[in-house]
A and B are shown apart, each in its own frame.
Chain A
Amino acid sequence: RKEVEQDPGPFNVPEGATVAFNCTYSNSASQSFFWYRQDCRKEPKLLMSVYSSGNEDGRFTAQLNRASQYISLLIRDSKLSDSATYLCVVNAKTSYDKVIFGPGTSLSVIP
């Protein structure tokens, strides 16, 4: 089983739609969780950190379920500019130490 798994998609959604991505991780000792965004052939960029209590940043909401070992990302009112690959990232410790990236979920927002 891979340490971090994501549905690769692609997710093709119309503008204005709500879309959700899930990510599962296998290491129960994982302590830090993030969502990164990567545009085609570009470098990944941090979208948001994921906190135990869940957190929201504008149209984006991230949730963590430690018991089931998954994190989620919800995007509301999708924009064309949201088209990208979304990477789930898990750190095993509170410092960086071992960083595991998921394979990514591809999103295309269609006019």
Chain B
Amino acid sequence: EAQVTQNPRYLITVTGKKLTVTCSQNMNHEYMSWYRQDPGLGLRQIYYSMNVEVTDKGDVPEGYKVSRKEKRNFPLILESPSPNQTSLYFCASGSTGVHEQYFGPGTRLTVT
């Protein structure tokens, strides 16, 4: 089954404790992206990657890191999480030129 998977789905952590949210897709897509969704603000792009070893900042990259060492994986790293990073996070992938993005099920992160 073609899909984008994210782990964990739910995470409660404390300020400053490094964490990684994994994202994996099995559709051989070149493009992958991370978004956060907050009430009243909608989906905002954090980082995206057009292909392996190519990443770029979206609208809200501060406090996040990403890497794209393999085509299928695009982890999101929070080196020192803060409460304002409490949000619902979505990973997405797509084929360059097609534009349809497939989203993972989301990761609900709470930072206390």
Contacts and interface: CB of A to CB of B under 8 A. Distances in A.
Interface in A75-110: 87, 91, 94-96, 98-104
B96 to A, nearest CB: 6
B100 A46 contact: yes
B9 to A, nearest CB: 11
A30 interface: no
A96 B33 CA distance: 10
B51 to A, nearest CB: 11
Contacts of B103: 43-45
Nearest to A101: B43
A49 interface: yes
B44 to A, nearest CB: 7
Contact of B99 (A34, A45, A101): A34
B99 A32 contact: yes
A41 B103 CA distance: 13
Contacts of A43: 90, 103-106
A1 interface: no
Query: Which of A32, A42, A49, A96 has the most B CB atoms < 10 Å from its CB?
Result: A96
A101 B101 contact: no
Interface of B: 31, 33, 35, 40-45, 48, 50, 58-59, 90, 94, 96-97, 99-101, 103-106
